[in-house]
Amino acid sequence: MAGQPLLEIHDLSKRFAQRAGREPPPWVIQDLSFTVGEGEFLTIIGPSGSGKTTLLNMIAQIDSASGGSVRFQSQIAPIADPKALNPGLSCQIGYVTQEDNLLPWRTTLRNVLFPLEVQGRLNDETRAHAQMLIRAVGLAGFEDHYPHELSGGMRKRASLIRTLVYDPPVILMDEPFGALDAQTRAQLQEDLLRLWDLGRKTIVFVTHDIAEAIALGDRTLVLTRAPARIAGEHKITIPRPRDIRGIMTHSEFGPLYQRIRAELQ
Ligand SMILES: Nc1ncnc2c1ncn2[C@@H]1O[C@H](COP(=O)(O)OP(=O)(O)O)[C@@H](O)[C@H]1O
Ligand SMILES: [Mg+2]
């Protein structure tokens, strides 16, 4: 169950800088407000180009906002000034980007351990936790393989647990399974829900896939085309644990799917 708001997004707006000799660029996001509860799995669905990645970049503090605020645990994050940004809010916000960004010269295990090394938190306990996560997503036996020796699905799993391993209270995910085939994608969705169930992190998961938004989320926000505003908000009460592969047969799925599809048009 979702508790107190962990993240509060208020009137967030974004317009990229004007380039010399060009028209001012349009607003990408305008006056967007929503909250994310502690332990909630929020999915955000919007058409391609609607500003989803831009939104996550601002929440992750890797891009500045043109207006509005982001609060994390009631503290205002400094996102108005590009020079004051604190990417990842000192490791409190994990970010699984669209690309897996594994380091090609590091093995699976050493990629997963990398954030712990950077944070100076690599010890017997955190190493054992990393090994547990590797087993949990079926990467046991591949610890010493390099990224180019893994399939796309395996690389995604490695990048997912590399974020889980340092235990940030919030994880942002940007269409992480978009490039995978349907079978692998369903497998990873199941893995993700299983991992989430182990720790119940707060997750903000962006997708352009309606079925994915419904299958994973406690709640979904539907975004308009840019400038992104909220076209709809839906609680998803399909009980957990969910059967990802059979979710279309649940009575709640069809009507919700149709409503979201109408809001996207
Ligand atoms: N760094 C940037 N500079 C200028 N325009 C950008 C930049 N990043 C994204 N945009 C524009 O912002 C809009 C939204 O992009 P994006 O957030 O990537 O959308 P989505 O992730 O929903 O597909 C697009 O029109 C894109 O061209
Ligand atoms: Mg994007």
pLDDT tens-digit profile of 98-152? 888 899 999 999 999 999 999 999 999 999 999 999 998 899 999 999 999 999 9
pLDDT at 127: 95
**C-beta of 126 in contact with ligand 1 (< 6 A):** no
Q: What is the atom index within ligand 1 of the atom nearest the CA of 51? A: 17
Ligand nearest, relative to CA of residue 178: 2
pLDDT at 3: 60
Q: What is the atom index within ligand 1 of the atom nearest the CA of 56? A: 17
What is the mean pLDDT of the segment spanning 147-158?
Answer: 94
pLDDT at 240: 94
**C-beta of 50 in contact with ligand 1 (< 6 A):** yes
Average of per-residue pLDDT values in the chain: 93
Give the residue, out of 19, 23, 54, with the most ligand 1 atoms within 8 A of its beta carbon, to mutate for a pocket test: 54
What is the mean pLDDT of the segment spanning 152-175?
Answer: 93
pLDDT at 27: 94
What is the mean pLDDT of the segment spanning 213-235?
Answer: 95
Ligand 2 (ion): residues with CB under 5 Å are 52-53
Contacts of residue 46, defined as CB under 8 A and 6 or more positions apart, other chains included, come to: 52, 206, 208, 222, 223, 224, 225, 228, 264
**Could you tell me the pLDDT band of residue 78, with boundaries at 50, 70 and 90?**
confident
Ligand 2 centre distance from Cα of residue 52 (Å): 5
**229-241 pLDDT per residue, tens:** 999 999 999 999 9
Residue 34 DSSP one-character state:
E
List, in sequence order, every residue forming a beta bridge with 45; answer none if it has no partner. 207, 222
Pick the closest to residue 13 from 67, 82, 71 (CA basis).
67
Distances (CA, A) of 39 to 24, 57, 200, 250: 39, 21, 5, 24
Query: pLDDT at residue 198 above 90?
Result: no
Query: pLDDT at residue 23 above 70?
Result: yes
**Could you tell me the pLDDT band of residue 8, with boundaries at 50, 70 and 90?**
very high
**C-beta of 227 in contact with ligand 1 (< 6 A):** no
Whose Cα sits closest to atom 14 in ligand 1? 51
pLDDT at 4: 76
CATH T-level topology, domain 1-16+26-92+171-265: Rossmann fold (3.40.50)
Q: What is the atom index within ligand 1 of the atom nearest the CA of 57? A: 17
pLDDT at 1: 45
Residue 24 DSSP one-character state:
P
Domain ranges for the chain, please list them. Answer: 1-16+26-92+171-265, 102-167
pLDDT at 140: 96
Ligand 2 centre distance from Cα of residue 200 (Å): 25
Q: Please state, in angstroms and rounded to a whole number, the distance separating the CA atoms of residues 138 and 157.
A: 9
Ligand 1 centre distance from Cα of residue 41 (Å): 24
Query: pLDDT at residue 204 above 70?
Result: yes
Give the burial string for 14-40 (b: 16+ CB within 10 Å, else e): bbeeeeeeeeeeebbbbebebebbbbb
